[in-house]
A and B are shown apart, each in its own frame.
Chain A
Amino acid sequence: MKWSAVPYIAVNALRRNTMRTILTALGIIIGVAAVITMVGLGQGASAEVEEQVNRLGQNVILVFPGERSLGGVSIGGGSANTLTVEDAIALREEIPEVIAASPEVRSQRVVVHGNQNWHTRIYGQSADYLQIRQWPIESGRMFTEEELERASLVAVVGRTIVDELFDGADPIGETVRVRGLPLEIVGVLSPKGMSLMGSVQDDIIIVPYTTAFQRVSGRSHAMVINIQVYNDQSMNVARQKIEDLLRERHRLAPYQDNDFTIQTQEEVAQAATETSRVMTWLLASIAGISLFVGGIGIMNVMLVSVTERTREVGLRLSVGARGKDVLLQFLIESTILCLLGGIGGILLGIGATEVIANYAGWPALFSTEAMIVAVTVSAAVGLFFGFYPAWKASRLDPIVALRRE
């Protein structure tokens, strides 16, 4: 027998039932498209998260007040008032690995310029905060140490503020008012984009923390202390030293738990990537289920088709087909169905990812692996779900099969 005979027979059988072939393949098309789309969007989201974590700064350690569960990535700050400005100063001065430490205090305020007003976040930070965040100044300058000590009414603003209050015009030297307090703008920050939490980071006004504590927020304790460590290798040492120093300063007995939480940039990154990884897996499993359902659809159609084509099988057996020829024919049919579905699914998946990515403004990544996996899986699904019906067909008794009406 020619090797190409059975594939030829299988292709002809599919061709004779074009509509059934298309409908059957549709299950796999949708399954594969779902896998490709979900994985593409998931990986895009992961890449975005990674990008955002890098924007966090370099060699950053964050200290939060209060006992917080590790792994919770909330940067919203605890309600406990355990971190002081003095803590931040002590950390910078007493730990050699710490090269910058900024006690942070945030408040939401309405800012007025002329007849424009804008609701924004006002951050109190130290003069080296921008260095910690690796956040360059676009024009003007950051406030100085002297201005910090004098609690001067100076501010550095983000791009959003420039756009909303000054219609994009150069705001340096201008004054904005916060609760009647005039703040002179000395610098404009370069645009930074979205944060990990999805807020616009450029919608910000940074003032010296002294000014913030005394005149804007009315708080007396830091919500976070942003710390920059000398280099990557000293992160763990620094982390330990920060913990020891803060315990000592807070006079915690050995049996007491920390009244603060330390998170390194890496931990934040891990938590964030973990979240997006879980999302990717979740999406991929949903997609996988639909691929599975598509496979069952194929098995269903092949089973029905074996019953429906009993006479055909009987005839093939009577003209000299062996059981294994019939088995192979049905296996090839279902594998072709799945491969067609796989290719169709890839095309549909790429299209769908593009559309969703454009519409939702997410980045989309196409991974060749996902496509190879999807096609391999769909071929395997074809073989797996095609096997039982094919085996059933090959075991038919030709006498019974021929007599079936």
Chain B
Amino acid sequence: MKIVDLKDIRRIYRTESISVDALKGITLQIEEGEFVAIMGPSGSGKSTLMNILGCLDRPTSGRFLLNGEDVSAFSKDKLAKLRNRTLGFVFQSFHLLPRTSAIENVELPLLYHEEGLTWKEIHNRAKKALEVVGLADRLDHTPNELSGGQRQRVAIARALVTEPALLLADEPTGNLDSKTSLEIIDMLQKLNKKGETIIMVTHEHDIAHFANRIITLHDGLVKSDRAIEAKNASDALRNRVDEDELEQIEGVLS
């Protein structure tokens, strides 16, 4: 089943003096269970595409089917509902509420949930999501008591807690060191193996190669779209550990 079906999506930003064609006709489909990386230089339109996929923005023209629904003409409130129910976001800078415990951060989307969940259900689902990302022992820690990688894992738990059909990750490793980046990617890969559809924007080739498919944008158009053999992040992590050891040994030698 197609999660995303874009047909000739255009997005034009108009100001009084100039109009910019950010997307000039994007047509693509993404199937359930894919792990897609979107790449491209800055100004290529990948952020605009991500905003449209995330239902934060509406295309100027074209048709966008999300999970079978035509959302091109949805009202703001309906888009908000869609973001809550169907989408999960992971951001480069985590966007956790400060001075708020991990579990309360994860509960947040459920507070805006349509279904009448009880407080107990909200709490339990948030707890479960934090267990999935391996933070069962950090429920009451606030963001400034967590490391960067742990913060991003809280953010992933928050994105997963509504059991979304599509997980959107916008430069999820942009603020992390290379080892932590691999850990986060490893987590995304594992989620993908369990069936989660993931779209990730990144400008790092290394990171993009952990996906099954790389879509490269250029100047508002799809430049290339190819399926690849994904690298395994767990293996990369293990090799990474070896490199660390190597560095240490070299350090000792020199």
Show the binding face of A for B, using Cβ within 8 Å: 1-2, 5-6, 8-9, 12, 16-17, 311-312, 314-325, 398-399, 402
CA–CA, A312 to B143, complex, Å? 14
Whether B158 is near chain A, meaning CB under 8 Å from some CB there, is: yes
Most buried by A among B56, B77, B84: B56
B112 in contact with A325 (CB, 8 Å): yes
A319 in contact with B108 (CB, 8 Å): yes
Q: Would you give 10 A-B contacts (Cβ < 8 Å), ordered by A?
A: A1-B112, A1-B114, A316-B108, A317-B56, A319-B108, A319-B109, A322-B81, A322-B112, A323-B80, A398-B56
Query: Of A312, A325, A398, which one neighbours B97 at CB under 8 angstroms?
Result: A312
Q: A320-B81, A320-B112 are in contact. Are A399 and B99 (CB under 8 A)?
A: no
Name the CB-closest residue of A to B50.
Answer: A399
Binary contact readout B81-123 vs A (1 if CB under 8 angstroms, 0 otherwise): 1011100010100010111100010001101111011000000
In whole Å, how far is B43's beta carbon from the nearest beta carbon of chain A?
Answer: 15
| Chain A neighbourhood of B80, CB < 8 A | 317, 320-323
Query: Of B56, B104, B109, B117, which one neighbours A12 at CB under 8 angstroms?
Result: B104
Most buried by A among B76, B83, B112, B158: B112
- Tell me the B158-203 residues at the A interface (CB within 8 Å): 158, 162
| Chain A neighbourhood of B109, CB < 8 A | 319-320
Name the CB-closest residue of B to A13.
Answer: B97
In whole Å, how far is B199's beta carbon from the nearest beta carbon of chain A?
Answer: 15
Whether B61 is near chain A, meaning CB under 8 Å from some CB there, is: no
In whole Å, how far is A11's beta carbon from the nearest beta carbon of chain B?
Answer: 12
- Tell me the B113-163 residues at the A interface (CB within 8 Å): 113-114, 116-117, 158, 162
Q: A323-B77, A399-B56 are in contact. List 9 more A-B contacts (CB 8 A).
A: A2-B116, A311-B95, A316-B112, A319-B84, A319-B89, A319-B108, A319-B109, A324-B77, A399-B51
Q: A318-B56, A319-B83 are in contact. Are A402 and B95 (CB under 8 A)?
A: yes
| Chain B neighbourhood of A5, CB < 8 A | 111-112
Whether B21 is near chain A, meaning CB under 8 Å from some CB there, is: no
In whole Å, how far is B159's beta carbon from the nearest beta carbon of chain A?
Answer: 8
CA–CA, A317 to B81, complex, Å? 10
In whole Å, how far is B4's beta carbon from the nearest beta carbon of chain A?
Answer: 18
Q: A317-B80, A402-B91 are in contact. Are A16 and B116 (CB under 8 A)?
A: no
| Chain A neighbourhood of B84, CB < 8 A | 319-320
Query: Of B56, B104, B112, which one neighbours A321 at CB under 8 angstroms?
Result: B112
Whether B57 is near chain A, meaning CB under 8 Å from some CB there, is: yes
In whole Å, how far is B96's beta carbon from the nearest beta carbon of chain A?
Answer: 8
Query: Of A1, A9, A12, A315, which one neighbours B95 at CB under 8 angstroms?
Result: A315
A319 in contact with B158 (CB, 8 Å): yes
Residue total for B at the interface (Cβ-Cβ under 8 A): 29
In whole Å, how far is B5's beta carbon from the nearest beta carbon of chain A?
Answer: 22
Whether B54 is near chain A, meaning CB under 8 Å from some CB there, is: yes
| Chain A neighbourhood of B162, CB < 8 A | 320
B111 in contact with A9 (CB, 8 Å): yes
| Chain A neighbourhood of B77, CB < 8 A | 322-324
CA–CA, A314 to B83, complex, Å? 13
| Chain B neighbourhood of A12, CB < 8 A | 100, 104
CA–CA, A6 to B112, complex, Å? 8
CA–CA, A54 to B172, complex, Å? 82
B76 in contact with A16 (CB, 8 Å): no
CA–CA, A8 to B95, complex, Å? 20
CA–CA, A321 to B79, complex, Å? 10
CA–CA, A322 to B113, complex, Å? 11
In whole Å, how far is A96's beta carbon from the nearest beta carbon of chain B?
Answer: 84
CA–CA, A106 to B163, complex, Å? 95
In whole Å, how far is A319's beta carbon from the nearest beta carbon of chain B?
Answer: 4
Q: A16-B100, A311-B95 are in contact. Are A318 and B89 (CB under 8 A)?
A: yes
CA–CA, A188 to B91, complex, Å? 92
Name the CB-closest residue of A to B114.
Answer: A1
| Chain B neighbourhood of A402, CB < 8 A | 56, 91, 95
- Tell me the B45-81 residues at the A interface (CB within 8 Å): 51, 54, 56-57, 76-77, 80-81
A2 in contact with B111 (CB, 8 Å): yes
CA–CA, A324 to B95, complex, Å? 21
In whole Å, how far is A31's beta carbon from the nearest beta carbon of chain B?
Answer: 28
| Chain A neighbourhood of B76, CB < 8 A | 322-323
Name the CB-closest residue of A to B109.
Answer: A319
| Chain A neighbourhood of B57, CB < 8 A | 399
CA–CA, A316 to B113, complex, Å? 12
Name the CB-closest residue of B to A2.
Answer: B116
| Chain A neighbourhood of B99, CB < 8 A | 16-17
| Chain B neighbourhood of A314, CB < 8 A | 95
A1 in contact with B51 (CB, 8 Å): no
CA–CA, A32 to B51, complex, Å? 47
In whole Å, how far is A198's beta carbon from the nearest beta carbon of chain B?
Answer: 57
Query: Of A2, A16, A320, A324, which one neighbours B83 at CB under 8 angstroms?
Result: A320
Name the CB-closest residue of A to B57.
Answer: A399
In whole Å, how far is B162's beta carbon from the nearest beta carbon of chain A?
Answer: 8
